[in-house]
Amino acid sequence: MQTMYQTMNDVELAAAIDDLEARVAEVKARELKLDMARGKPSPEQVAISRPMLDLLSADSDLTDGGVDCSNYGCFEGIPSARALAGEFLGVDPSQTLVLGSSSLLIEHDSVAMCWLKGTCGHAPWSEFSAAHDGARVKFLCPAPGYDRHFGITEDLGIENVPVRMTENGPDMDEVERLVAADEGIKGIWCVPKYSNPTGDTYSDETVRRLTSMKTAAPDFRIFWDNAYCVHDLYDEGDELLNVFDAAREAGNEDRVIAFASTSKITFPGAGVGFVAASPVVIKEIAHHLQAGLISADKLNQLRHVRFLPDLDAVRAHMRRHAEFMRPRFECVDAKLHEGLDGTGCATWTHPRGGYFVSFDGPEGSAKRVGALCREMGVTLTPAGATWPYGEDPHDTNIRIAPSYPSVEDLSSALEVLVLAVKLVSAQLALE
């Protein structure tokens, strides 16, 4: 992409840089302190779930389907919560576990299980390298993607291999080519709906290709983190094909392990996390986790299902969340259009749900834009974070997280981002 600054002559470019630098100095003098770094809901948005806290008291019936939620037992989760988890993830409740407050921790434990013990009778992933002349276990990482996913596999010493994320999901030609050729590729990280950070949803074709592709590794697993499955901004949300149905049709039922939580539905960090898999794999995960857990917090599960008894109740609650999120996403889009249309300096995504907008500037700009924004008082997710090992090969991508600031602060933060992108683009044109 050619920026407007690359079409200027030296005199015009020097004048443009002078003007932009003067504007940067003005902003610095305002001593702003704005944060667009992490995707968490604003305090007012979290507050809509406070009534849930009043649903259990000393006088409440603390049973669910005959299960006493006030004592040990029922490791797999209380019946109503498993029914809800089944609705979320598109499986029979018997194929779910409802656990503690974090889906990310269950993702970590599921990868760790494969690493330590193997899955479906195959050797532990940790033994692969010794048995294959030192070849490493690898994971495909659609990028831009979620840094904490990449962190889980990196932490175990698994090699993270980036594959290009498109508006229909990961580049499937590339994914199919890689998994067919390399037995060391044991898995792929997926955020299939309103992906973090692009906001794109996998197409039906992508879901079918992922579940039916030939993999050299017989124990290849899709880590299907459906964190944003109900996080629509508009009444007409994106539709995602049921991955378990597709996997079953392809004869690869054991390939998928799916996750979700109520973190961005009720209380981040104090919600309820779910996992779903084939009957065989869910049994394996339960067995693995039961070594270290007698039962999760069933009172929290009970509070949740009394507040959100079924998917209809969840959808009604999410419509209230959308009232907070929609103006923020629309502010991001409007401000970026206003500031950058016609400059050739940027492209960005237009999500219809989720928590993020993915922004791309000119090659070699993202780290400098992040640093300049910081100098002007605006914190962004560190440039590179959306790529494995923090290495964005073209240094273009910035994740915008609009949920936490007020619309007014967001508007100011985006003006700063636009200014930073323009100045860095102009400086790059000079170099």
What residue ranges bind ligand PLP (CB under 6 A)? 39, 102-104, 146, 191, 196, 225, 227, 261, 263, 268, 273
Among 141, 214, 167, 73, which Cα is nearest to 386's?
Answer: 141
| Least distance between ligand PLP and beta carbon 307 (Å) | 17
Q: Are 196 and 146 in contact (CB under 8 A)?
A: yes
To ligand PLP, the closest distance from the beta carbon of 386 in angstroms equals 11
Q: Compute the least distance from the CB of residue 4 to ligand PLP, in Å.
A: 34
In the bound state with ligand PLP, the residue whose beta carbon lies nearer, of 263 and 295, is 263
Please identify, using beta-carbon distances, which residue of 103 and 396 lies nearer to ligand PLP: 103
Question: Which residue is at the shortest CB distance from ligand PLP?
Answer: 261
CB of 191 to ligand PLP, least distance (A): 4
Residue closer to ligand PLP, measured from CB, 40 or 248: 40
**DSSP SS3 for 274:** strand
Written as six digits, the tokens of 211 are: 């579940």
Nearest approach in angstroms of CB 404 to ligand PLP is 12
Give least dist CB 351 to ligand PLP, A: 13
Residue 18 Cβ vs ligand PLP, minimum distance, rounded to whole Å: 41
Q: What residues have CB less than 8 Å from 417, skipping those under 6 apart?
A: 36, 359, 369, 373, 378, 380, 398, 400
Distance CA 83, CA 305 (A): 10
Between 17 and 104, CB nearer to ligand PLP: 104
Say how many C-beta atoms besides its own lie within 10 A of residue 327's C-beta. Answer: 16
* Token reading at 428: 């790059």
8 Å CB contact between 352 and 232: yes
CB atoms under 10 Å from CB of 344, counted, come to 16
Measured from the CB atom, the residue of 5 and 404 that comes closer to ligand PLP is 404
End-to-end distance of the chain based on CA atoms, in angstroms? 16
Given a contact cutoff of 8 angstroms between Cβ atoms, the answer to whether 379 and 348 are in contact is: no
C-beta of 344: minimal distance to ligand PLP in Å? 31
Angle at the Cα of 201 from the Cα atoms of 249 and 91, rounded to 5 degrees: 40
**What distance in Å separates the CA atoms of residue 323 and residue 318, rounded to the nearest whole number?**
9
Identify which of residues 192 and 362 has a Cβ nearer to ligand PLP in the complex: 192
User: How far is the C-alpha of 299 from the C-alpha of 207, rounded, in Å?
Assistant: 35
DSSP state of 123: P
Residue closer to ligand PLP, measured from CB, 185 or 191: 191
Spatial separation of the C-alpha atoms in residues 358 and 350, rounded to whole Å = 8
Nearer to ligand PLP, 96 or 261 (CB): 261
